[in-house]
Amino acid sequence: MNALAWLAPVALPIAGALLWPVVGPARRWLLVLAPLPALLLGVFGAPGPPPQLNWLLLEAIADLDIGSRPLLVMTAFVWMVAGASARRIGDDRPAFASLMLLTCAGNVGVLLAADVVTFYVMFAWMTFAAYGLVVHHRTESARRAGRVYVVLAVLGEVALLAGLLLAATHAGTTAMPEVAGSLATAPGRSMIIGLLIGGFGVKVGLVPLHVWLPLAHPAAPVAASAVLSGTMIKAGLVGWLRILPLGEVALPGFGATLIGLGLVGAVLGVVAGTLQSDPKVLLAYSSVSQMGLITTAVGLGLVLPDDATAAVFAAVAYAVHHGIAKASLFLGVGVHKAGTRGWSHRTLLAGMGLAALALAGAPLTTGWIAKQTLKSVADALPEGGGQPLTLALSLAAAGTTVLMVRLLWLVREPSGPRSSPRSDAPADARGVIAPWASIVVAVAVGGWLLPLAVPDAPSLLPLTTSGLWDGLWPVLLGLVPCAGWLRYRPDRRLARASPRPAIPAGDLLLLIERLAPAVSIPAWWLLHRFDAMERRARTFQDVGRVTVRPGALIDHLEDRLTGWRTAGALYVLIGIAVTVALALGTA
């Protein structure tokens, strides 16, 4: 029974994916129920300790530590909601449904894995299965997004593999806790940690490596985007939390870089997001920004080893909050795209407004709790380093508010039941509203459930008045520029005329794409020349047919040799030579 509890979360989705074509109409419920065992495991925990699975992969070990349990609950819940809203898509594209299930298995597996190998297997499994989701629509933009996604995913995986190999060798075992522990004293530690940060950074959307995110998330269908931004992005965070030696050793250097990159990400996400015209790209940039904040939390953990547990909790809390809020926003966009009329549009706006407020960290919302815990950890920075950091966090919150207003602006008109074939959600919105509604409720209530889920969470809940004000002023600050913009916004037509956003999605990527040909074209040319050269060289191998000239020489020489006169001369010569050799040679 205990083994079943541990294995079912991963096994059920995989079984579902493999049996999808076989299972009859009931399969529509499979998408929804697949994550259920994971949810139950997360909420109620398993009856016994994790079973020994040394026949699986390379002595797989499963475990559920404190940090990843809430994440497991959030992931499972979001997967169920996404599954529910993706049921209709699943019907006409079985491949999409099985890929969704496979990715779910990977996502859940990452949270459960406790040894380096299984973790890496699940991580890679999730990444490459998600590729199928990204390119589901098969449009040219989806293919380009898929290409960028795969290239960065492969680079990330390769860096990760190298880092894990080096770490595991030093630790001598593959169990993650020991590996993280021994990392502190590993020779060449900085290279290993650099590789790990880079490897997971690709998935988390760390600034220079985030370029795939604004392309891939919008390209996928809404249900997939919700999961991509909601839960899968957190897998990278889990990797950091489990493998980096948080709490064992102070790594000021790496800590500072993480904090720095996190903040840059937060700002870039907000700036680029607001300039977007497609709500899904805007939300993707919002994910980059929010994950930037979480990265600062991890950075704090690295800088202050003794506050590491608080930093981890802050990061987890923030991740859970962001997961649910972002998923609800993506699903909301999905509902909007599916077409809403009259009262359903108004409820949609209300719900998305609630999620937006949560994301901005307005008081009494989950976002507020998460931000406050993050600020409290920041305050613990020595010699007053905390002040500028908390200020930056508040400014980021203001930025997010601006972003959310922009989102609501983009979604403000009811988009009637357009029957464009391309719309990824069915014409009638019935199937999508119910799951969306449930997740909005979760956003409202979730924040308060957090302490219950994690019994020994430090009592950081800032229910003081200063905390309330601390949450409110950034939101107000954010609303000021929006009001100004609403009042004096330029002519409506101009806004609509230039659909291309100032910063196209995948900002840095365009730079790279322009530079890349300068390198790839000569490389390709060189390889082709080398190939051709070898093919020409092969003619040398045809000894017989190389050129006529040497052949003729041999024939000519042979003819002379077998002529009587030359043969006669040679015969006499050899006779003399042999005789002389016999005469003077030593016996």
To which H or E segment does residue 577 belong? helix 564-584
- 250 interacts with other proteins by CB under 8 A: no
Angle, helix 233-243 to helix 94-112, in steps of 10 degrees:
20
- 54 interacts with other proteins by CB under 8 A: yes
Query: What is the spatial distance between Cα 30 and Cα 109, in angstroms, rounded to a whole number?
Result: 18
Cβ atoms within 10 Å, residue 517: 10
Cβ atoms within 10 Å, residue 334: 26
Which CB sits closer to other proteins, 488 or 564?
A: 564
Q: Is 455 helix (H, G, I), strand (E, B) or coil?
A: coil
> For other proteins, which stretch binds (CB under 8 A), given 120-128, 325-333, 460-468, 491-499?
120-128
> For other proteins, which stretch binds (CB under 8 A), given 118-126, 262-270, 374-382, 386-394?
118-126
Contact pick of 3, 56, 395, 453 for other proteins (by CB under 8 A): 56
- 379 interacts with other proteins by CB under 8 A: no
Output the smallest distance, CB 562 to other proteins, in A.
4
3-state helix, strand, coil in the chain (%, to 5): 75, 0, 20
Which CB sits closer to other proteins, 54 or 419?
A: 54
Query: Do the strands 60-61 and 52-53 form a parallel or antiparallel pair, or are they unpaired?
Result: antiparallel
Residue pair 271/495 in contact (Cβ under 8 Å)? The answer is no
Which CB sits closer to other proteins, 452 or 548?
A: 548
Concatenated DSSP letters for 37-73?
HHHHHHHH--SSPPPEETTTTTTEEB---TTHHHHHH
Contact pick of 350, 495, 515, 577 for other proteins (by CB under 8 A): 577
Contact pick of 486, 521, 527, 546 for other proteins (by CB under 8 A): 527
Which CB sits closer to other proteins, 384 or 544?
A: 544
Contact pick of 12, 63, 143, 301 for other proteins (by CB under 8 A): 143
Binding mask 387-406 vs other proteins (x if CB under 8 A, - otherwise)? --------------------
Contact pick of 138, 487, 493, 496 for other proteins (by CB under 8 A): 138
Query: What is the spatial distance between Cα 90 and Cα 435, in angstroms, rounded to a whole number?
Result: 16
Contacts of 379 (CB under 8 A, 6+ apart): 386, 390
Residue 426 has, within 13 A of its CA and on its CB side, a CA count of: 14
Output the smallest distance, CB 51 to other proteins, in A.
14
- 587 interacts with other proteins by CB under 8 A: yes
Contact pick of 473, 521, 524, 546 for other proteins (by CB under 8 A): 524
Tokens of 499: 């659909």
Measured CA to CA in angstroms, residue 274 lies from 282, 399, 403, 453 at distances of 7, 9, 5, 35
Nearest C-alpha neighbor of 121 from the set 68, 64, 79, 160:
160
Residues numbered 531-550 forming contacts with other proteins, rule: CB under 8 A: 531, 534, 538, 541-544
Residues numbered 148-177 forming contacts with other proteins, rule: CB under 8 A: 150, 154-155, 157-159, 161-162, 165-166, 168-170
Which CB sits closer to other proteins, 48 or 575?
A: 575
Query: What is the spatial distance between Cα 191 and Cα 197, in angstroms, rounded to a whole number?
Result: 10
Which CB sits closer to other proteins, 2 or 52?
A: 52
DSSP secondary structure letter of residue 229? I
Query: Looking up tokens 């996604």, which residue turns up?
Result: 149
Contacts of 460 (CB under 8 A, 6+ apart): 310, 313, 314, 372, 373, 376
Binding mask 547-576 vs other proteins (x if CB under 8 A, - otherwise)? ----x--xx--xxxxxxxx-xxxxxx-xx-
Residues numbered 181-220 forming contacts with other proteins, rule: CB under 8 A: 188
Query: What is the spatial distance between Cα 41 and Cα 26, in angstroms, rounded to a whole number?
Result: 24
Residues numbered 409-448 forming contacts with other proteins, rule: CB under 8 A: none
- 18 interacts with other proteins by CB under 8 A: no
Contact pick of 96, 128, 212, 368 for other proteins (by CB under 8 A): 128
Which CB sits closer to other proteins, 52 or 387?
A: 52
Output the smallest distance, CB 122 to other proteins, in A.
8
**# of chain residues touching other proteins (CB under 8 A):** 74
